[in-house]
Structure 1
Amino acid sequence: MEFSSTIRVSDLNDYIAPSQDCVVALNGKLRTSEMSEEVQLQPRAGIRAAGGRQTPAGIAEAPTGDPVKVTLHDCLACSGCITSAETVLLQQQSGEEFLARLGDPRVMVVISVSAQSRTALASYFGLSPSQALARLAGWFKWLGVRAVWDLTTARDLVLLEEAAEFLDRYRSSQEAGGSGRPAGQAPPALLPVMGSACPGWVCYAEKTQGSRVLPYLSSTRSPQGAMGGLVKSLVAAAWGATPGSVYHVTVMPCYDKKLEASRDELTTTTTTTAVTGAGSGGHEEERIPEVDCCLTTGEVLQLLQQRPAPGCEAEGLGAPAAPSCAPDPLLPGVPADEHLYGVPHGSSSGGYADFVFRTAAREVFGIEVPPGPLPWRTRRNADLQELSLSDVITTSGGGGGGGGGGATLPPFGSGQVQQASSPSLVVARVYGFRNIQTLLQQVKRGRCAYHYVEVMACPSGCLNGGGQIKPGKGVTPQQLIEQLELMYGHTDVAARNPAENPAVTALYGSFLGGLPGAPAARQVLHTSFRVRKSTVTASMVANW
């Protein structure tokens, strides 16, 4: 089993020196007596192994009747036992666990596939993106999966919600009489809006930046989080099933997506049957994850090699005999796409900044940005780019023309166009922690010129996620990224405005309140963030 490229150690039996404290101390105290202490993690409820629990040397044992539970979520909020938490995470969200669930008659296994993973598999097997998705769906169905979905619809919903949230915060900042940045007179935390689709960035913000930065994060979920909400609420109800009986698996390019799947904020309520001492059954409610298992692209490749379909032992998805089928419709009555679609000229990390920029230009300033690539300007490096409306006006020779390929978005906000002699709208793409640090310093000092920022922890964005397939012999990481960028923009993937997605229209019309930003949509497609206390000292961090 592969681990994140960020953290690679040969021994996963973590050594904790006596000077290091654990965030979750037993009974509020932590005693150490020997230099050979170890931290032992307990699996989450429902996956807990049978048998007793040994008390580690030097740790005070909890009183009888008062068991101490250190959940995976607790450990992920700590920066001390990095590799132990990752070990438990991989055990609970692994290929082995996925295969075990396929053999459980009590659950229906469903799978959502990200565009970045689809792209990587297509490049690896020499297929087009649509061929790769169809053959991947066929293989999953051969294994016994109930339904396979493309994450395009969830991504389109997220883009519309992200744009609606930005418009609301931008207009509020203008009404307050300032730019919305903390150095002005406007209420703090309106602008810049920082994208929150990257769990690595979100975890960093929660653990190290806290209340200084979290208010700037967009509340819109990531596509994985949005799909989890849809599956455990709408899909389960449409199938007449409980959320707990639908086992939702995602295929993602990043190990940190496993971390996102374990967040308390991305859970739902299900009813279970409890057995009392007298043997009679009762009903209890418990919180369960909306994404039960996240597999990386590399882990799926391993499964393809371990469990090949008949006739595919040597070539995998590239074999002529590979089973193939179209992805499933998300809901009965919601049309399934016959083709693959992408955001027109958006980034390979989701196209958030591009879509927000085009929407705000039209809805706020009445400027229709012409179709085609936007004039992004590279700053210090290729992972720090910015785009201003003044540049677009200069390049295109003015607004009001062109159109967006005939797309008509659902109405946002009041629909009133702001009259401004010199429109002020600047967005940015900020990838990699080196550039994120620069961004945060600008925000804290009140000198950030951006209104919206697409933030990703990985350099080069999501196609370079730690869970992606590694470069082959003779191929450098940069060459692989360039290959994936070309595959992501393959002619097989048609450009389409998210508002033109028939499934999106049907979901908003029947389930999500009619418009982006509606209360029903916010309940399913938005989330929250909180400060996660960390007691790790600077010297401990330096050791890593």
Structure 2
Amino acid sequence: MQFSSTISVTDLNDYIAPSQDCVVALNGKIKANDVGAAAEEVQLQPRVRAGTAGPPGGPQPGDPVKVSLHDCLACSGCITSAETVLLQQQSSEEFLAKLADPRVTVVVTVSPQSRAALAAYYNLSPATALARLAGWLKWLGVRAVWDLTTARDLVLVEEAAEFMERFRSSREASTSAPSAGAAAPGPLPVMASACPGWVCYAEKTHGSRVLPHLSSTRSPQGAMGGLVKSLVAGAWGLAPASLYHVSVMPCYDKKLEASRDELTTALPPGAPSPDGEPGEGRVPEVDCCLTTGEVLQLLQQRPPPGCSPEAGLADPAAPAAAPDALLPPGVAPPDDRLFGLQAASSSGGYADYVFRSAARELAGLELPPGPLPWKSLRNADFQELSLELPDLAVGQAGSRPPAALRFARVYGFRNIQTLLRQVKMGRCAYQYVEVMACPGGCLNGGGQIKPGPGVSPQQLIEQLELVYAHSDVAARAPTDNPAVAALYNHWLGGRPGSAAARQLLHTTFREREKTVTAAVVANW
């Protein structure tokens, strides 16, 4: 079975480095590390064939346990042999095979975090790195290369609208009975759902006690997949199944997200399926997710023309191409440079943008540019931000007392556990939480390029933060993106939260069956 070369699976004993301890406890028992041990292993037991009996009484504590793909949270970049099927479908080898298939049109979307990592590795500016990456991909045979900016901007606008709907509903419910037959929005706090490792953990471990709090807004990858398989395929006159969409992302758990049934597009009756045969069904909106590290290794295996594997994109001879416009000519002017949020988190800026939007809508306050005054609590990966609000309205029960906006950014599973304890006890004071599984956020994703000799992980993160906020990336609010305005005006019902926007830019979550007893390891 073929894998991308960044992933090595030798036998059924999978090595997990100490910095990537698995959060799944097998048989409910956590294996303690020996003093001075350098690593920990998760063992997988052979499958029990149908019609045969397993061990009496089931697996015993301490016995090897089979971990299926649905048990893996893909939270820290470790890859187990239970994921072989997924990895075969989403590998650089499969990507190259599709490029060689004349029946398939291949397109690529590049995340800002991956762009920053490649720029740092090759000592380039973000704009130059993206242009040379696009030139190399088109040399390989890719038809279009997009920056993820417009999809991220759409997601942020939808996320802010969803939060405001839930916040106002919560205030109204505190003073009056809900209308009969009305479907109430989800409860507070709203928890960002852009991190698939966190979503997978919530679905498998906490279920109905936590899932209603998840934002229904898709991640940028999920939103881009919907746009590509609907709007782009339609504009190009292609069937969704013949358009092969590849994303370049900073973590392996994006492969799990790309494989979700909820993020698929229905084939028209009688339309050809991905194998070219007529049939009915659905196709993934992101067919293949490659991590930054996988792209780097592919660059080294197939360097740009006239460039050495060592120089790669750093060679001035590497071909360059401007990223493609997502919308057809004349619908919206193409961006002539990179854009992003100013002084927001490098994980997408969810809490920063929603907080600014809420302050504007609820208090009429336009917060000044620059970093917001986030305050670290337990550690640098657990931060909060608050703003006192005026009395917003007078209801049947009289004037409501002043309230405060309280937001949080919570990264890493140790901090996530603290947050969820507060939520389950009804003591969570936050209305919105940006949740990410990886400590340090998306720039520290398990699929990113590893630190070089003499560089610590913390030093690499600091370098990536500087590149992510490079002057190449101009500050722009998502609502000022002309492509966002055009998408709402022409395809998404004219406003955030419309029926068309909910169909294309939102998703659902569900409790997922566990095949092993899952518990959270307390040594994160």
Verify same fold: TM over 0.5: yes
Residue 456, structure 1, aligned to residue 436, structure 2: yes
What amino acid sits opposite 2:318 in the alignment? A
Q: 1: CA distance between counterparts of 2:240 and 2:156?
A: 25
Post-superposition CA distance 1:251-308 (Å, at most 9, x none): 0000000000000000011147599xxxxx9953211100000000000000000011
- Distance, in Å, in 2 between the alignment partners of 1:539 and 1:119 is 34
Cα 1:325/1:176, change in 2 over 3 Å: same
Aligned to 1:345: 343
Q: 1:188 to 1:139 in 2, by over 3 A?
A: closer
For 2:337, the aligned partner's letter is H
Question: Which of 302, 307, 316 is the equivalent residue of 1:320?
Answer: 316
Q: Deviations over 1:336-358 (max 9, x none)?
A: 21110111211000000000000
1:2, distance to aligned residue in structure 2 (A): 5.4
1:294 matched to 2:274? The reply is: no
- Does the aligned pair in 2 maintain the 1:261–1:291 contact within 8 Å? yes
Give the match for residue 71 of structure 2.
78
Give the structure-2-normalised TM-score: 0.82
Aligned pairs, number: 459
SS in 2 for 1:76: coil
Hey, what does 2:109 align to over in structure 1? 112
Instruction: Tell whether the 8 Å contact from 1:189 to 1:216 is kept in structure 2 after alignment.
Output: yes
Structure 1 length-normalised TM: 0.79
Structure 2 gap ranges (5+): 15-25, 29-43, 53-66, 178-183, 391-398
Q: 1:151 Cα shift?
A: 0.1
Deviation (angstroms), 1:424: 1.1
Q: Which amino acid aligns with 1:118?
A: R
Q: Which amino acid aligns with 1:319?
A: D
CA drift of 1:89 comes to 1.6
Q: How does 1:383-532 map to 2 (within 5 A)?
A: 383-390=381-388, 422-532=402-512
Is residue 182 of structure 2 the alignment partner of residue 177 of structure 1? no
1:371 positional shift: 1.6
The structure showing larger relative contact order (alpha-carbon pairs under 8 Å, at least 6 residues apart) is: 2
Spell out, residue by residue over 1:74-106, the C-alpha distance to the aligned partner (whole angstroms, 9 max, x if none). Answer: 943235997233222211100000000000111
Aligned runs of 1:144-163 on 2, under 5 Å?
144-163=141-160
Kindly indicate whether the alpha-carbon contact (under 8 Å) linking 1:93 and 1:258 is maintained by their aligned counterparts in 2: yes
CA distance in structure 2 between the partners assigned to 1:37 and 1:251 by the alignment: 33
Query: 316-325 or 76-85: which moved more?
Result: 76-85
RMSD of Structure 2 on Structure 1 (CA): 3.1
Residue 308 (structure 1) aligns with = 303
**8 Å contact 1:137–1:325 — kept in the other structure?**
yes
Residue 359 of structure 2 aligns to a residue whose secondary structure is helix
Separation in 1, partners of 2:125, 2:386: 34
- Pairing 1:131–2:128 present: yes
Aligned to 2:393: none
Stretch deviating more after TM superposition (436-445 or 314-323): 314-323
Q: In the alignment, is the contact (CA less than 8 A) between 1:226 and 1:524 conserved in 2?
A: yes
Shift of 1:361: 0.7
Q: Tell me the SS of whatever aligns to 2:265.
A: strand
2:107, 2:244 within 8 Å by CA — same for their partners in 1?
yes
Provide Cα deviations, 1:520-542, integer angstroms capped at 9, x if missing partner.
Answer: 11110000000001131369989
Structure 2 counterpart SS, 1:528: coil
> What one-letter code is carried by the residue in structure 2 that aligns with 1:350?
G
Question: 2:50 matched to 1:59?
Answer: yes
**Inter-partner Cα distance in structure 2 for 1:517 and 1:143:** 39
Instruction: Measure how far apart 1:335 and its partner are.
Output: 2.6
Question: Which residue of 231, 235, 238 corresponds with 1:238?
Answer: 235
Amino acid of the structure 1 residue aligned with 2:50: I
Structure 2 counterparts to residues 237-386 of structure 1, below 5 A: 237-271=234-268, 284-313=279-308, 314-332=310-328, 333-386=331-384
When residues 474 and 536 of structure 1 are mapped into structure 2, their CA distance, relative to the original with a 3 A threshold, is same
CA-to-partner distance for each residue in 1:351-379, whole Å, 9 max, x for gaps?
Answer: 00000000001112222212221110000
Change (3 A) 1:141 1:538: closer
Name the SS of the counterpart of 1:219 in structure 2: coil
| Distance (Å, rounded) in 1 between the aligned partners of 2:45 and 2:409 | 44
Q: Which whole-Å CA distance do the structure 1 matches of 2:175 and 2:122 have between them?
A: 52
Shift of 1:334: 3.2
Contact 1:271/1:283 (<8 A) preserved: no
Query: Matches of 2:68 and 2:323 in 1, distance apart?
Result: 36
Kept after mapping to 2: 8 A contact 1:159/1:352: yes
Secondary structure at 2:290 match in 1: strand
CA distance in 1, matches of 2:207, 2:245: 31
| Cα deviations by residue, 1:40-68 (Å, 9 ceiling, x for unpaired) | xxxxxxxxxxxxxxxx7x4339xxxxxxx
- Per the TM alignment, residue 149 of structure 1 is displaced from its structure 2 partner at its CA by 0.2
Q: How does 1:36-51 map to 2 (within 5 A)?
A: 38-39=46-47
Give the secondary-structure state (helix, strand or coil) at the position aligned to 1:250.
strand
Confirm or deny: 8 A CA contact 2:170 2:188 kept in the other structure. Answer: yes
Instruction: Give distance in 1, aligned partners of 2:163 and 2:519.
Output: 39
Once residues 435 and 178 of structure 1 are traced to their aligned partners in structure 2, the CA distance between those partners, rounded to angstroms, is: 33
Q: Residue type matched to 1:38 in 2? A: P
Partner amino acid for 1:322? A
1:377 & 1:491 partners in 2: Cα distance? 26
